[in-house]
Amino acid sequence: MSVRAIRKLQGDNRVFRARIAFSAALMLMAAGGLVVRLVYLQIVGHEHYATLSQDNRVKISPLPPTRGIVYDRNGEVLADNLPSYSLELVPERIENLDGTLAELQELLGLSDEDIRRFRKLKAQHKTFESIPLKMRLDEEQIARFAVKQPFFPGVQINVRMIRTYPYGELTAHAVGYVSRISETDLKTLDPAVYSGTYHVGKSGIEKTYENLLHGKTGHQELETNVQGRSIGVLNTVPPVAGADLRLSLDIALQRAANDALGEYNGAVVAIEPATGRVLAFVSKPSFDPNPFVYGIPKQDYDRLQGASDRPLYNRALRGVYPPGSTVKPFEGLAGLEVGDLTADRRVSCPGYFQLPNSSHQYRDWRKGGHGAVDLKSAITQSCDVYFYKLALSLGIDKLSEFMGRFGFGKRTGIDIPGELPGVYPSKEWKKKRSKHPWFQGETVITGIGQGYVGTTPVQLARATAILANRGRMVTPRLLDATQGGTDAAESESRQPAGESLAISQEHWDTVIEAMVDVVHSARGTAKGIAPGLDYHVAGKTGTAQVFTVAQGQKYRESEVSKEMRDHALFIAFAPAEQPRIAVAVIAEHGGHGGSVAAPVARAVMERYLSGGTP
Amino acid sequence: MRFDSRLAGFNAEQTRFDRIMRRIHVDIPLFAGLMTLSGVAMVVLYSASGQSFDVLLRQGVRLLLAMSVMLGIAQIHPRHFRFYSPLLYGAGVLLLAAVLVMGEIGKGAQRWLDLGVLRFQPSEILKLAVPMTVAWFLAECPVPPAFRHIAVAGAVIAVPAGLIAKQPDLGTAILVGAAGAIVVFLAGIRWLYLAVVAGVGAALLPVVWHFLHGYQRDRVLMFLNPEADALGRGYHIIQSKIAIGSGGFYGKGWLQGSQVQLEFLPEKSTDFIFAVVAEEFGLIGCLGLLGIYLFIISRCVYISLQAQDTYTRLLSGALTLTFFVYVFVNTGMVIGILPVVGVPLPLVSYGGTSMVTLLAGFGILMSIQTHRKLVPG
């Protein structure tokens, strides 16, 4: 080893020793710090922590936030919180739980289901938490229990806020409802956020905006003695109430739409075209959401679930109906834009259509035919043959692509969960689902909105709004503004201006004029609703076949049972020149669109535009 | 060695024992300290695991395995460590990258490398490879190292630490980074540079914050104010403090801690096992446990002061200080003076891979101590 190397080694060693000494000092200081902290916790704080540990059970009690209120556009309350008396048990403080439950059942006349539900809840909560046995006690039950309370340690009556829906059935499919947190919910919910909350949004607006509505849970740190009694509050973090929501829904309009449907089942969706705001969202029949909040009895639920008219089914959102002739204005645009159609070319309609080399007759709804029709009169009179030919000349793929621009076969993105996309078929689509190729005949019937085509009412309403906007896209949306909540500030919910479809003004004019003629001309299929209107309505009727009439036979409404009768459809917007409302109506088994669905749409538009009764 | 030869006449029996131990490369005081610690750990773990023999058995098997690794490594001459340091480092970094790529494919946090039979975390290799490699590099540099040397060492540390942080395993990344930084410190980095590095580090904190995952941010925030989320994440700390404080001076007695036995204390057999000691054995127990750690650490300090060349000095010093950092970070977290980073209490917490790495480190220390040339006075 060279002298230099040895010197370096020695020098290194000197520095190293100094650094080790420094580190040793640091380590001793750090260890000293640990010891000081331990002494602080274990000697100085011992008594404090010993108390906390002796009864760790009621240490932290959650303070649930108040759920946000839901209003309609005019400030009418659609979902509210009302105080309700509930009988609650703290299992830990009850010596003989089974005995107590049996006595309470006897005393208050509780059902076996109440007991069963309680046991389920008990399994989900800690034994020191107060768990509701029966919500919404009536006056008599409260009085009965009050007398016997001293004999029931660990049982108490608490006031809890309970969600109520003052409009019941009318808003059930739009606003939705909250219900008790289920075991499946628990898998996705943060238990810290939901400690002390027993309800969560299950459908509709209540589900979509759960995060906004719920608010932030606060808590109390309670100092307790050995018996588990609270002897003081150490610290309180108050809860933050959920945000109040203002919806674009107009409850008066909603009621008008619901009433206008009369005895028919079906759906009505009304949209403000400029913004996509949903003004009415009706699915009929409906159900009362209030029992779901405190726990609907099983037999009632089964009855709703099993009813043949399916009241729990959200038709506006998930009902997939053949759109029938309501697609014709859109297809007319397709012919003008992507096909070689001109508005004034005439097509002869003998009352039926045959594919070359086929004897199958595709019938027109009018037996004798419409004669020679151009595009406008084909829409106005809803000539089927014209659109059979149009669809065939465009081809299914071109047609399907164009219709997709208006949202056919796609979810609209409305802020209600569970929407179905419907179908607008293409060759590709069929290839994925069937081993058969696409047949030309299927293109033909697609031309009149039959066959594989399926649309939801909300989809139709949106397509109509885009038509009213002359191509500007909108997304239907119920939430208008939020107030309060964890963000504190009021915020308007705006959506970015949608893109516009590139379609020439001239073509819009043609189609919209034809739609005005549907209502206002003598040959229009919905001319019956024109009298008394002091503005122009652009509309289109539709009749969707539920039942296939055999070749060579005639469909007679009176001969077909109600379940097999056609669905009546109508889409419209008004005023035609400056649209303020776009509506889609489906009346199940209503027969003709013009006579059944159109008056419903008229009632809605009149209510909205004139503010009066139709 | 004059001192030794005088002792020889005084107690020939023990000298022969010492000689044998030296021949099989076992450092008696260090080994005794580790065995005591492991014994205590078993007692505590029995209570923390809810009196599970199954857990004890598994921990015992791991301990046995790790001890054999330690003794095996002690047989290797330090010059081999030195030679293989960069190779080990390179292999470790490659494995880290592999794990990260596989993690990307598997979509999610991935720390484990699955070699069919064998499953291990490559980050464990780096806990040793980083200090070894930095020591290997800086041992050849002048003292104090020049700025460029520091820069190279910094890169050697930053690459694996960054990869580990990306897994994401912030706790291990910090420990690996700390191990490397300690070598740089021991190698005699100028105080001025040290201050600059510390300053830059502090300035970079907001940037680091930006890259942290949500849950990592939560942990830091929660540490700063545990009561803010008493129902969720703050629960660990609050319950841990109750366990420790309620233990008092003498503790509640073995198997008698209500916080532990009634399951109020989370992660009680792994990261929060120190709280079990504190609750059941009190301040006395804590001081005793810290005493054992300090004994082990002082023996290691002694070994590093005795080391005969720069590489072994730096390496042994770094291993020693890193071990202290492990102990301090864990206990500091449990008693609520440091944020909750998932670092186990060395050799006491239940769990496998880190134990092998730790004892491998002690194997290196034993090798350094027992392979010294006994140069006369």
Cβ neighbour number for residue A2 with a 10 Å cutoff = 7
Q: Is the peptide bond before B168 cis (omega within 30 degrees of 0)?
A: yes
* Series of mean pLDDT values for 10-residue runs along chain B (377 residues): 47 72 91 96 92 90 92 94 94 89 58 55 90 93 87 93 83 89 92 87 79 70 62 72 90 82 75 92 96 96 92 94 94 86 87 84 95 66
Distance from the A192 Cα atom to the nearest Cα atom in chain B, whole angstroms: 5
Q: Which of B229, B324, B331 sits opposite A27 (nearest CB)?
A: B324
Q: How far is residue A380's CA from residue A375's CA, in Å, rounded to a whole number?
A: 9
Instruction: Tell me the CA distances in angstroms from A382 to A103, A206, A567, A600, one per residue in order.
Output: 70, 41, 16, 19
Whether residue A425 contacts residue A433, with contact meaning beta carbons closer than 8 Å, is answered with no
Sort out which chain B residues have CB atoms less than 8 A from A33's CB and list them.
337
Homologous superfamily in CATH for domain A251-479+499-610: DD-peptidase/beta-lactamase superfamily (3.40.710.10)
Sort out which chain B residues have CB atoms less than 8 A from A8's CB and list them.
142-143
Instruction: Report the pLDDT value the prediction gives residue A180, as an integer from 0 to 100.
Output: 84
Q: Quick check: B245 and A37 CB within 8 A?
A: no
Boundaries of CATH 3.90.1310.10 in chain A? 60-247
**Mind spelling out the 3-state secondary structure of A192-232?**
CCCCCCCEEECCHHHHHCHHHHHCECEEEEEEECCCCCEEE
Sort out which chain A residues have CB atoms less than 8 A from B297's CB and list them.
27
Boundaries of CATH 3.40.710.10 in chain A? 251-479+499-610
Helix, strand and coil percent figures for chain B, each rounded to 5: 75, 0, 25
Q: Does A325 qualify as catalytic in the annotation?
A: yes
Instruction: Report the pLDDT value the prediction gives residue B51, as an integer from 0 to 100.
Output: 85
Q: How far is residue A266's CA from residue A315's CA, in Å, rounded to a whole number?
A: 7
Whether residue B234 contacts residue B261, with contact meaning beta carbons closer than 8 Å, is answered with no
Q: Domain extents for chain B?
A: 33-75+231-372, 85-212
Instruction: Report the pLDDT value the prediction gives residue B9, as an integer from 0 to 100.
Output: 46
Distance from the B186 Cα atom to the nearest Cα atom in chain A, whole angstroms: 6
Query: What percentage of chain B has pLDDT greater than the value 70?
Result: 84
Instruction: Tell me the CA distances in angstroms from A154 to A9, A98, B104, one per residue in order.
Output: 77, 13, 53
Q: Give A 38-77 residues with CB within 8 A of chain B.
A: 38-39, 41-43, 45-46, 48-50, 52-54, 56, 60, 62
Among A468, A428, A59, A99, smallest CA distance to A233 is for A59
Distance from the B172 Cα atom to the nearest Cα atom in chain A, whole angstroms: 20
Distance from the B193 Cα atom to the nearest Cα atom in chain A, whole angstroms: 15
Q: Quick check: B144 and A15 CB within 8 A?
A: yes
Residue from A4, A9, A28, A38 to probe the interface with B (highest B Cβ count within 10 Å): A38
Topology of domain A60-247, CATH: Penicillin-binding protein 2a (Domain 2) (3.90.1310)
**ipTM for the complex shown:** 0.89
- Residues A189-208 have a mean pLDDT of 85
Instruction: Report the pLDDT value the prediction gives residue B111, as an integer from 0 to 100.
Output: 59
Residues whose CB falls within 8 Å of the CB of residue B353, separated by 6 or more in sequence, listed in order:
B120, B121, B124
Instruction: Tell me the CA distances in angstroms from A12 to A17, B139, B180, one per residue in order.
Output: 9, 9, 18
Sign of the alpha-carbon dihedral angle for A111, A112, A116, A119: positive
Q: Quick check: B290 and A31 CB within 8 A?
A: yes
Whether residue A196 contacts residue A158, with contact meaning beta carbons closer than 8 Å, is answered with no
Tell me the range of A120-129, A151-160, B127-136, B248-257 where mean pLDDT is highest: B127-136
Residue A301 reports pLDDT greater than 80: yes
Helix (H) or strand (E) holding B114: strand B113-115
Q: Which of B242, B249, B324 sits opposite A49 (nearest CB)?
A: B242
pLDDT in tens, A576-600: 999 999 999 999 988 887 889 999 9
Instruction: Tell me the CA distances in angstroms from B176 to A363, B142, B170, B183, B348, one per residue in order.
Output: 80, 24, 10, 11, 20
Whether residue A142 contacts residue A160, with contact meaning beta carbons closer than 8 Å, is answered with no
Sort out which chain A residues have CB atoms less than 8 A from B182's CB and list them.
23
Q: How many CA atoms lie within 13 A of A139 on its CB side?
A: 0
Q: How far is residue A6's CA from residue B375's CA, in Å, rounded to a whole number?
A: 14
**What beta strand segments (E) does A51-198 contain?**
60-63, 70-71, 77-89, 131-134, 155-164, 178-180
Cβ neighbour number for residue A519 with a 10 Å cutoff = 29
Whether residue A420 contacts residue A454, with contact meaning beta carbons closer than 8 Å, is answered with no
pLDDT in tens, B119-175: 568 888 999 999 999 999 999 888 888 889 999 999 999 999 999 888 777 778 888
Q: Mean pLDDT check: name the lowest of A251-265, A491-505, A550-564.
A: A550-564
Distance from the A18 Cα atom to the nearest Cα atom in chain B, whole angstroms: 9
Amino acid at B353: T
Residue with tokens 């039959």: A450
Tokens of A492: 């308007």
Instruction: Report the pLDDT value the prediction gives residue A613, as an integer from 0 to 100.
Output: 43
Instruction: Report the pLDDT value the prediction gives residue A58, as an integer from 0 to 100.
Output: 47
Q: Exposed/middle/buried for A375, CB within 10 Å: 0-12, 13-18, 19+?
A: buried
Q: If you measure CA to CA, which chain B residue comes closest to A52?
A: B242
Given the DSSP bridges, would you call strands A266-271 and A361-363 parallel, antiparallel or unpaired?
Answer: unpaired
Q: How far is residue A601's CA from residue A606's CA, in Å, rounded to a whole number?
A: 9
Instruction: Report the pLDDT value the prediction gives residue A224, as an integer from 0 to 100.
Output: 56
pLDDT in tens, A43-71: 998 888 887 776 654 466 778 888 999 99
Sign of the alpha-carbon dihedral angle for B301, B303, B309, B311: negative
Sort out which chain B residues have CB atoms less than 8 A from A39's CB and list them.
283
Residue A17 in contact with partner chain B when CB distance is under 8 A: yes
Length of chain B: 377
Instruction: Report the pLDDT value the prediction gives residue A159, as an integer from 0 to 100.
Output: 84
Whether residue A20 contacts residue B305, with contact meaning beta carbons closer than 8 Å, is answered with yes
Residue A485 reports pLDDT greater than 80: no
Q: If you measure CA to CA, which chain B residue comes closest to A221?
A: B230
Burial A459-480 (b: 16+ CB within 10 A, else e): bbbbbbbbbbbbbbbbbbbbbb
Q: Give A 203-262 residues with CB within 8 A of chain B.
A: 217, 219, 221, 235, 237
Q: Exposed/middle/buried for A304, CB within 10 Å: 0-12, 13-18, 19+?
A: middle
Q: Quick check: A56 and B229 CB within 8 A?
A: no
Instruction: Report the pLDDT value the prediction gives residue A227, as an integer from 0 to 100.
Output: 42
Residues B206, B207, B211, B217, Cα dihedral to 10°:
-10
Length of chain A: 614
Sort out which chain B residues have CB atoms less than 8 A from A31's CB and list them.
290, 294, 328
In the structure, what pLDDT confidence band is assigned to residue A26 with cuts at 50, 70 and 90?
A: very high
Sort out which chain A residues have CB atoms less than 8 A from B214's CB and list them.
none
Instruction: Report the pLDDT value the prediction gives residue B140, as an integer from 0 to 100.
Output: 87
| Global pTM exceeds 0.80 | no
Instruction: Report the pLDDT value the prediction gives residue A488, as an integer from 0 to 100.
Output: 42
Which residue out of A86, A325, A521, A595 is catalytically annotated?
A: A325
Q: Exposed/middle/buried for B168, CB within 10 Å: 0-12, 13-18, 19+?
A: middle
Q: How far is residue A257's CA from residue B187's CA, in Å, rounded to a whole number?
A: 83
Query: What percentage of chain A has pLDDT greater than the value 90?
Result: 49
Across chain A, what does the average pLDDT equal?
A: 86
Residue from A6, A7, A8, A19 to probe the interface with B (highest B Cβ count within 10 Å): A19
